[in-house]
Amino acid sequence: MGYQHTIHQHVYKFRDLKDLLAKASPMRSGDTLAGIAATGYEERVAAQIALANVPLKTFLNEAVIPYEDDEVTRLIMDDHDQEAFAMIAHFTVGELRDWLLTDHAGTAEIKQLKMGLTPEMVAAVSKLMRNQDLIGVARKCEIITRFRNTIGLKGRFSTRLQPNHPTDDPKGIAASIIDGLLYGSGDAVIGINPATDSPAGVYNLLDLIDRIRQQFDIPAQSCVLSHITTTIGLINAGAPVDLCFQSIAGTQQANSSFGINLSVLDEAYEATLSLKRGTIGQNVMYFETGQGSALSANAHHGLDQQTCEARAYAVARKYHPLLVNTVVGFIGPEYLYDGKQIIRAALEDHFCGKLLGLPMGVDVCYTNHAEADQDDMDNLLTLLGVAGCNFVMGIPGSDDIMLNYQSTSFHDALYLRKALGLKPAPEFEDWLIRQGITDNQGNITHTQLTGKLIAHLF
């Protein structure tokens, strides 16, 4: 089935839904690299107008990657809830956009709709939206998850304390953990990217975080971001695994390049659930995604990178995760060229994830060879705070010395909480006050616990 729209007597034709989605995407370097982007603004606008007139039912009848070829497509189609979809089944993409922007589409209505939406539908509607539209709709969504604390409540904003070290040195990592805790960071997760995937090394890091957590009775969860098969082995070996991590993508072929499939994710989910380590909830999975991952693996099937990204959220949604974040600028300028493209992609990802019912965070980041700087990240951080983002990263000095990219610091999170009147997760906030790290207004005091934490390190 083809699509078309005429501008200035020029007929723009799009061979199928996949081509239409790609041409309607806002400009980004990855789609240009893939040879699927619109040739210019006029063709992009023509595609957006044509896309706005596509009935939502079309997405249930025209798979962008064939059902028989891709297990992610099968997951999307098989899990689709026709009853939830019924309330918008008569809409076009443009009508869905208009409805989402009305007061009739409130928090409860959007939540009720989530299983009736497919990733392709939410990707399509995002392509018709201005940045303020993406922010305004995402802000309505409240996606709450629980393990040892409660993440995602309105008026709350959490951080992942990311204490990476280039050699996994325990004292270096512990110093970063203490630094982060003393600035009120870590309520989303204390999460380490290990320098190697050695099971023994990962075990030692898990044990390190767990000992700190238990000694100071911290209502937070830990994660060492090893490959999921390593984590499964460590669970079987009795390691103190709170959350199971994995990077995921939106096509079966891209996930295969990560060494995973849905069967492996099923096994990991059940194994981590069996530990029952959560105290107030059992959301045990942590996923990371990023626009361009499928293209970088030559596994995008001609699909634009933003729609591929949204499809990854269907994979995440299956496992009721505690946390999902898009590592938005990490893959590099080949996929998101500059600060403008990174900001747009982050707002799209956050919007799409929230509509699909995910507890979305964003790694507000860029690589050193991108046309971006920390001012761009300040802008994006602020926009995400307004949009109701669940969490961002907290990294010493915003400079990850192991992964060699720029992200957000402990101080950045403090700025956002102060500027927008946001608080940490409630259980973590109570702990910060009890320990004398903050006062009742969220001001950092660094009194009672500082010496104890430093003594624990040295």
The predicted structure's pLDDT at residue 457: 58
Using 50, 70 and 90 to split pLDDT, how confident is the model at 127?
Answer: very high
**Strand, helix or coil at 196?**
coil
Dump pLDDT digits (tens) for 298-347.
Answer: 999 999 999 999 999 999 999 999 999 999 999 999 999 999 999 999 99
Which tens digit of pLDDT belongs to each residue from 385-425? Answer: 999 999 999 999 999 989 889 999 999 999 999 999 999 99
pLDDT in tens, 66-112: 999 999 999 999 999 999 999 999 999 999 999 999 999 999 999 99
Alpha-carbon gap, residue 395 to 193, rounded angstroms: 12
pLDDT of residue 42: 97
- Using the structure block, give the residue that is written with the tokens 């990657």: 65
Residues 6 or more apart whose Cβ sits within 8 Å of residue 100: 110, 125, 137
pLDDT tier at 450, thresholds 50, 70, 90 = low
Instruction: Give residue 447's pLDDT.
Output: 62
Q: What pTM value is reported for the model?
A: 0.96
Please state, in angstroms and rounded to a whole number, the distance separating the CA atoms of residues 236 and 379: 44
pLDDT of 254 over the 80 cut: yes
In contact, 6 and 12? CB cutoff 8 Å: yes
Q: How far apart are CA 418 and CA 431, in angstroms?
A: 19
Of residues 455 and 272, which shows the higher confidence score?
272
Contact 332, 370 (CB under 8 A): yes
Q: What is the DSSP string of 393-449?
A: EE-GGGEETTTTEE---HHHHHHHHHHHT-B--HHHHHHHHHTTSB-TT--B---HH
pLDDT of res. 456: 59
Kindly list the distances between the CA atom of residue 330 and the CA atoms of 49, 223, 348, in Å, as whole numbers in the listed order: 32, 20, 16
Q: How high is the pLDDT of residue 22?
A: 98
pLDDT digits (tens, 9 = 90+) for 31-76: 999 999 999 999 999 999 999 999 999 999 999 999 999 999 999 9
Token match 């997405």: residue?
59
How many whole angstroms separate alpha carbon 141 and alpha carbon 152?
A: 9
Cβ–Cβ under 8 Å, residues 191 and 223? yes
Q: Which string of DSSP letters, residue by residue, matches 26-55?
A: PP-HHHHHHT-S-SSHHHHHHHHHHHHTSB
C-alpha 247/C-alpha 260 separation (Å) is 9
Indicate whether 458 pLDDT > 60: no
Please state, in angstroms and rounded to a whole number, the distance separating the CA atoms of residues 121 and 158. 29
Distance CA 413, CA 419 (A): 10
> For residue 139, what pLDDT is reported?
98
Question: What pLDDT is attached to residue 455?
Answer: 65
Q: Name the residue among 56, 64, 139, 130 with its Cα closest to residue 94.
A: 56
